[in-house]
Chains A and B, each alone.
Chain A
Amino acid sequence: MAVMNLVQAINSALDLKLADDKNIVLFGEDAGFEGGVFRVTDGLQEKYGEKRVFDTPLAESVLIGAGIGMAVNGLRPICEIQFSGFMYPAFNQIISHVSRMRTRTRGMFSVPMVIRAPYGGGIRALEHHSESTEAIYGHIPGLKVVIPSTPYDAKGLLISAIEDNDPVLFLEPKKIYRAIKQDVPEEIYRIKIGKASVLQQGEQLTIVAYGAMSRVVQQAIQHAKKDGYSIELIDLRTIYPFDKQTIVESIRKTGRLLVVHEAARTFGVAAELMAIANEEAFLHLEAPPARVTGYDTVIPLPKGEDFYFPDAARVYEAIKKTIKF
């Protein structure tokens, strides 16, 4: 065991897998020599050489497109997009090819690729550096979308993503890159993609959150506990394919659902989970499924962002409202 933050845990996963499989290549803008703008890939080029860990020209479409070709020709590319807000130039490649190659060729070719990108807000960043667009990708058939919220999860999920024979979008909550430290095994271990984790057991309300919001919700639950509320917290971990079973069982037990995400509200992940609550647990519901989210606006620049991102107070309000319904 070693104490690691999220950045170190991700670095450790990449390091172990690069050592483990010669067909893995890691590349991105400033991801080689510099070790990435968040230093997530620090030291990897030094250790594995420029051939396997390298900088690319500043062009996201070919960054992902070339990864497709590499995958088809036997490599296992790990592509870094510097910020999730700069994934759009590669969107055509992701939606038109990465996610479809297996279906299109009836399994003759597949794209075992990991696309890593820091995502989410709350770090007082420039425009385009705070985006939370997981729902867009969750909507694309053929693509898995993973978001860790702890160092332990980040390492285990990333190792599974790298070993997955299908493409995985691995979104890293940059606000908590260095905010949480945890004991993390130094060796390889895996966390199953598609499996949520129940962080706290409770009886009156199920809260589902992920990424940086898991921590915010935990703070809110601290308050709520003092008021005597019993809350179950599920960390989603995988946006697609998500763990319906765990969520539905929990809602059937508690009778209430609250989903918290920082992404915009309309057509977001919460909307999907609320629909699942209706479809699968309707007769168990004691209150309408609820959500605390970002708003349907462009994410405000730093002077406005505190109004946008859910905080413990907003979550606490929603907890009370849902339980007291």
Chain B
Amino acid sequence: MFSTFDPLQGKRLTIMNESGEIVAPEWMPKLPDDKIVDAYKTMLYARIGDLKAVSYQRQGRLYTLPTNIGQEAAAVGSALALEKTDWMVPAYRELGAWLVKGATMRDYFFYFGGSEEGSRYPDGTRLLPVSVPITSQLTHAVGIGFASNYKGEKDVVITYFGDGGSSQGDFHEALNWAAVFSCPTIFFCNNNGYAISLPREKQTKSKTIAQKAIAYDMPGIQIDGNDLFAVYRATSEAVKYARDGNGPVLIEAITYRLGAHTTSDDPSRYRSAEEEKEWEAKDPLLRLRVWLEKKGLWDDAKEKDYSEEATSDIESQFAEFEQYKATPIEDIFKYTFEEMPDSLKEQMIEVRNHVNRMGG
């Protein structure tokens, strides 16, 4: 697959087009129908979760958060290609992928509601926390892959970043290391067209981000990131390639952030309404739904039922989060080191005494 879709020749993998038609049946992944329905449900769940989070933020019940709308196929499709024992190293805009990996909306609400508890995922979840310093996390994924090789294990690791992130030094350092040590690391770029306000064209002179792989002698492929089948198929190929001991792969998924960069951003300052309309028509959920409906696997009633089910589940997780009022003082101190040094103990007592005096 990687030699067929040479980014230097302007090739891009699309399996299902914007109208939900299969245009490259030879690449169609062999997924059972129920798995595809599940994938759609997860995308829908992530969409509802994302929209809910934005609305809670607007109501002042969560803090600043990124939006995910429009990028659900890239997130969910790539994560579904992993085994439970594989690792995931996120950036911050892959909600659907984290949900597949085992995080919950409760975790999401805690994190963006202002508590580190949101990064303590259910035990054994091989998911690293959100990484805010752009692209720094790619190096961690390289090390995880290195350790996997070292221990003779077959676990691979996927890491996410944006088109803007591809300009960082860590991107190049990480790809180079991964190639030198043949780390089973999949670099998954969500090229959503913008890094906050900066359009992709101004980010790099390269025609594609995928082609940057060539310099490191690893496969690079550009795919339609709003096509669940292309995302799943390409990531599965990359996972197999890495698991078989061939080293890293770079995937560039072309997608679009339909929402704002974060809840503090106003995209109308840097992009046109026409452009947004154009991409609304390419919505990853819409086209998969059309495909499912044509196959008789989905309909309006199912959409309505599942949306209601997801909404009430998400609301109850939010209610659980809202029970949490403030971080226990001890928690602020006790995870700095395995054992608290005396100086931290003294400072912890100092805060506690102060709060007690203030009647807190």
Chain A residues within 8 Å of B, Cβ to Cβ: 25, 51, 56-57, 59, 61-62, 64-75, 77, 89, 92-93, 96-97, 101-110, 141-142, 144, 164-166, 194, 241, 244-245
Contact with A along B313-341 (1 / 0, CB 8 A): 00000000000000000010001111001
- Interface contact A69-B343, CB-CB below 8 Å: no
Residues of A within 8 A of B147 (CB): 69-70, 72-75
Task: Name the residue on B nearest A97 (C-beta).
Answer: B136
Contact of A105 among B120, B148, B331 (CB under 8 A): B120
**Closest-CB distance, A237 to chain B (whole angstroms):** 14
Cross-chain contact B136 with A65 (CB below 8 angstroms): yes
Contact of A105 with B119 in the complex, beta carbons under 8 Å: yes
Q: What are the residues of chain B within 8 A of A106 when measuring CB–CB?
A: 116-117, 119-120, 331, 335
**Interface-central residue, B133, B143, B145, by most chain A CB under 10 Å:** B143
What's the least CB distance linking A65 to chain B, in Å? 2
| A276 CB to nearest B CB, Å | 10
Give chain B interface residues in 98-156, CB to chain A under 8 Å. 116-117, 119-121, 128-129, 131, 133, 136, 138-148, 150-151
- Summed over the interface, the residue pairs from A and B with CB atoms below 8 Å come to a total of 135
Fill in one digit per residue for B281-308: 1 if any A CB lies within 8 Å of its CB, else 0: 0000000000000000000000000000
| Chain A residue at smallest Cβ distance from B121 | A108
Residues of B within 8 A of A70 (CB): 143-144, 146-147, 150
The reply to whether B176 and A62 contact each other, CB–CB distance below 8 Å, is: yes
Could you tell me the distance between the alpha carbons of A106 and B123 in the complex, rounded to whole angstroms?
Answer: 12
Checking A25, A51, A69 against B142 with a beta-carbon cut-off of 8 angstroms, the contacting residue is A69
On whether the beta carbons of B139 and A108 are closer than 8 Å, the reply is: no
Q: Are B338 and A104 in contact (CB under 8 A)?
A: no
Known pairs A65-B143, A93-B139; A109 contacts B331 (CB<8 A) = no
B140 touches A59 (CB 8 A): no
A68 and B173 contacting across the interface, CB-CB below 8 Å: no
User: Least Cβ distance of B160 to chain A in Å?
Assistant: 14
Quote the shortest CB–CB distance from A162 to chain B (angstroms): 14
Partner of B140, one of A25, A65, A144: A65
Q: A75-B150, A106-B117 are in contact. List 8 more A-B contacts (CB 8 A).
A: A59-B173, A66-B139, A69-B140, A69-B141, A73-B151, A74-B147, A108-B120, A144-B337
Write out the residue numbers on chain A whose beta carbons fall within 8 Å of the beta carbon of B143.
65-73, 77
- Is residue B359 within 8 Å, beta carbon to beta carbon, of the partner chain? no
B266 to chain A, nearest CB (A): 28
Contact call B341/A103, Cβ cutoff below 8 A: no
The 3 closest A-B pairs by CB, nearest first: A69-B143, A65-B139, A241-B341
How big is the B interface, by class?
Answer: 35 or more
Contact at A69–B136, with CB atoms within 8 Å?
no
Interchain nearest-CB distance for A164 vs B (Å)? 8
Does residue B241 face the partner (Cβ distance < 8 Å to A)?
A: no
Partner of B341, one of A68, A75, A105, A194: A194
Q: Judging by beta carbons under 8 Å apart, are B117 and A92 in contact?
A: no
Contacts of A105 in B (CB 8 A): 116, 119-120, 128-129
Tell me whether B128 and A62 are in contact (CB under 8 A). no
29 sampled A-B residue pairs with Cβ under 8 A: A57-B173, A57-B177, A59-B173, A59-B177, A62-B139, A62-B177, A65-B136, A65-B140, A65-B142, A65-B170, A65-B173, A66-B139, A66-B143, A70-B150, A73-B87, A75-B147, A93-B139, A97-B136, A102-B335, A103-B116, A104-B119, A108-B119, A108-B121, A109-B128, A141-B336, A142-B336, A142-B337, A194-B341, A241-B343
Q: Which residues of A are found within 8 Å of B344, using beta-carbon distances?
A: 241
Which residues from A are CB-within-8-Å of B148?
73
Assuming the contacts A105-B120, A166-B337, asked whether A66 and B146 have C-beta atoms less than 8 A apart, the reply is yes
Shortest CB distance B155–A (Å): 8
